[in-house]
Amino acid sequence: MTQADGWPKAVLFDLDGTLVDSAPDIREALNEAMAERSVAPFELSEVRTMVGGGVALLVERALARREHVLAERERAALVERFVALYEPRATRLTTLLPGAAEALQASRAHGAKTALVTNKPKAPALSILEHFAIARHFNLVVGGDAGPAKKPAPDLLLHAARELEVEIANCLFVGDSENDVTAAKAAGMAVAALRGGYTTLSIESLDPTHRLDLLSQLSTLFR
């Protein structure tokens, strides 16, 4: 593989809702953690609209959805409990989305560097990549616990571009949600939004640089 002569020179991917459907495992861990606090369980459709902002925001959204109030210390403990329940089971019900492996292979064949940029902590993200045998396709994995502010802030994307040593103008971010599009726009990075991801908004209202009905269409953006 040689370095890409065209564009993009780096392709950055979101994880949840873009490469994998992780909502079923997240739901199981969330419901178990919430049951310990006597909070009613969540349907899968509800969980899909709450993920994407990191664990703390997931817990905050879940509590708000059930109008359940906890003190800050209790919320922090609930976040820790969710992580403890989720990490060992992060791949039990999670599935690789159609076209994910092909999109990664096409990016590498194009000569682009690749990175995973997710708000999910790095450990479970790596477990998922390894479970589906796609970790080898990535030059870099940036989790939400890397230090920079999580998406929708641009910091994780900017951090990844620096680590890859690729200019922002030569990067393409592939995501599925408002957080992804907002982060990319704030970073000054082109973004391809995948239809049908973890968002209640239409792909048209997100107004990304590019729209994808299927991940397998990603290579059509390369030049």
Strand partners, 16: 20
Check the annotation: does 213 bind a ligand.
Answer: no
To the question of whether residue 155 is assigned a binding role by annotation, the answer is no
Is position 145 annotated as part of the catalytic site?
no
Catalytic residue among 14, 21, 25, 180: 14
Q: Is 16 labeled as ligand-binding?
A: yes
Contacts 24+ apart (CB under 8 A), 83-90: 83/55, 83/121, 85/29, 85/32, 85/33, 86/25, 86/26, 86/29, 86/30, 86/124, 87/121, 87/123, 87/124, 87/127, 89/25, 89/28, 89/29, 90/22, 90/25, 90/124, 90/127, 90/128
Binding residues for Mg(2+): 14, 16, 176
Instruction: List active site positions.
Output: 14
Which positions make up the binding site?
Answer: 14, 16, 176
